Amino acid sequence: MSLSWLVVARREFLERVRSKWFIAITLLGPVVMTTIIVVPAWLGARAALDRVKIQVVDKSEHNLFPAIVRASAGFEMPFDFEWVSPNIDQKVLLGRIRDEKINGFLLIPKGVLAGEKAIYRGDNATNIRVGVQLQGALYMAARSARAAEAGVKPEIINQIDWPKVELEAQHDTGRGQASQAQASFLVGYVVMFVLYMSILIYAVNVMRSVVLEKTSRVVEIVVSATRPSSLMFGKVMGVGTVGLLQLAIWSGMALLLFRFRGELLGAFGVEDAGDVELPPLALVDILVILVYFALGYFLYAALYAAIGAMVNSDQDAQQAQTPVILLLILPVVCVQLVAGNPRGPIAQVLTLIPFSSPILMPMRYLLAGTTPAELALSIAILVATLIGAVWVAGRIYRIGILMYGKRPSLRELGRWIRYPS
C-alpha cells in the first residue's frame, strides 16, 4: 500500500477538526460533565430543605402516630406529620393532594402488626428517600407497640441508645487497593458508555462520508489518483484520529472535574460534596482504554466503510447497518452482567468476543476482574478479528465504491470478496 492514504487521512482529519461542529461538541463535553455533577447535587441540596407534609390515617389499635412522629425527628428529610380521623373519606385526602395542601397520606391498617401492608399515597411516592424513611418510622413505631404488648414501657425503649449500623461496600479482588463499590462501578460504567458512544459516532461518520462521496460521484475522481484500499484506510485513520483527539480532551476534562469535584460544588453553593472517593486511574488504565477504543473503532469503522460502499443512499445505509448496530447494543445490554460479577464466566466470555470486548473489557479491567493473560488474549482475538474485518471490508470496498444501482445480495458480496486482486 502506498503512502497516498496519508493524504486522505490528513484531509479527513483537518476537514473535521476545523469544522465548527467539532469545536462546539468538544467544548460542549466539559459543559455537560459539569452540569451532570453540579445540577443533581444542587437540586438535591434544595430538595432537602423542602418539608414533606403527610397526614396519617391510623386505623390500628396501638396508636402508632406518636411513635412515628418521634422516629421521624432523627431523619435527614424534614417531615410534618398530622393526625386525621380514621373515618375520613379518602376522597377528601386525595383532594388535599390535588390542591397541594399536603404531599400525601399514610394509611395504617388495623392489622399492620400482623403483616397487613401500610399504604402511602402521595405526589412524591416515587421518591426513594421518602419511602425508605417512612418504612423506618413505621418499623420503629411497630417495635415500640410490640414492646408495650410484652410489658416493656415505651419510654424505656425510647431511652435505649440504639446503635446506628452502617455498611460500606468496598470493591476488592485481593490484587490491589480496595475502593468503594459504587465509585468503581461509576468509573467503569462511564468508560463503557463513552467508548460505546465514541465508537458508534465515529464509525458511522466513516459510513456517511463514504456514502456522500459515492452519491456525489466524487469518489470516481479520487480513485483515479489513489487505490480504493488506500482511500478506505486513509478515511478510517483520519476519522479515527479525530475520535482519539476528542476522547483524550474529554478524558482529561473528566479527570479534572472529578478530582476537584468538591471545589466545583462549593463554587455553586453546595457544601455537601459527598464522600465518594473515585478510584485513581493510572497511566496503564488510560492506555488500556485508548487501546480498546482504537481497536474497537477500527473494527467497526471497517464494517461501516464496507456498508457505505455497498449502498447508494442514506436510507439504504440506515437499513444495512442494523446488524452492526445490534453487535454494538448487545454489550450495552449485558453491562450489568459484567459489573455484577466481573470475574464470572459470563464476563469472561463477553470480554473475549471481539465485537463486545471493546465496550466491556475496559470496564471489567477497571473493576480488577481480569488477569493480564485474559487481557492479552482478548486483545489478540480483537486484533485478529480486526485484520480479518479490514481484509473483507477492503475487498467489498474496492468494488462496491464504484457500483451503482440496487444493493448487492449476500451471494454477490461473496463474489466481491473472492474476486482476485
- Read out DSSP for 2-49? -THHHHHHHHHHHHHHTSHHHHHHHHHHHHHHHHHHHHHHHHHHHHTT
pLDDT in tens, 9-19: 777 777 777 77
Query: All 3 cell numbers of residue 51?
Result: 418539608
For the chain, how big is the Rg over CA atoms in Å? Answer: 30
What is the SS3 assignment for 234-266?
Answer: HHHHHHHHHHHHHHHHHHHHHHHHHHCHHHHHH
pLDDT confidence of residue 273: 46
Please report which residue ranges of 311-356 form alpha helices under DSSP H.
314-320, 322-333, 335-340, 345-350
Question: What percentage of the chain exceeds 70 in pLDDT?
Answer: 74
**pTM for this model (two decimals):** 0.62
Q: Compute the average pLDDT of residues 275-288.
A: 67
Lowest pLDDT segment from 161-175, 229-243, 301-315, 375-389: 161-175
Query: All 3 cell numbers of residue 289?
Result: 482504554
The more confidently predicted of residues 180 and 291 is: 291
Query: All 3 cell numbers of residue 360?
Result: 466491556
pLDDT in tens, 198-218: 777 777 877 877 777 777 666
Beta carbons within 8 Å of 363's beta carbon, 6+ residues apart: 188, 189, 191, 192, 335, 338, 339, 342
pLDDT confidence of residue 172: 45
CATH 3.40.190 fits 50-159, yes or no: yes
CA gap 334, 353 in Å, rounded:
13
Domain positions in the chain are 4-42+175-418, 50-159
CB 75 within 8 A of CB 133: yes
Q: How many other C-beta atoms can be found within 10 angstroms of the C-beta atom of residue 261?
A: 17
Element (H, E) at 120: strand 119-122
Residues 328, 329, 332: CA angle, nearest 5 degrees: 105
Residues in the chain: 421
pLDDT confidence of residue 27: 77
pLDDT confidence of residue 318: 78
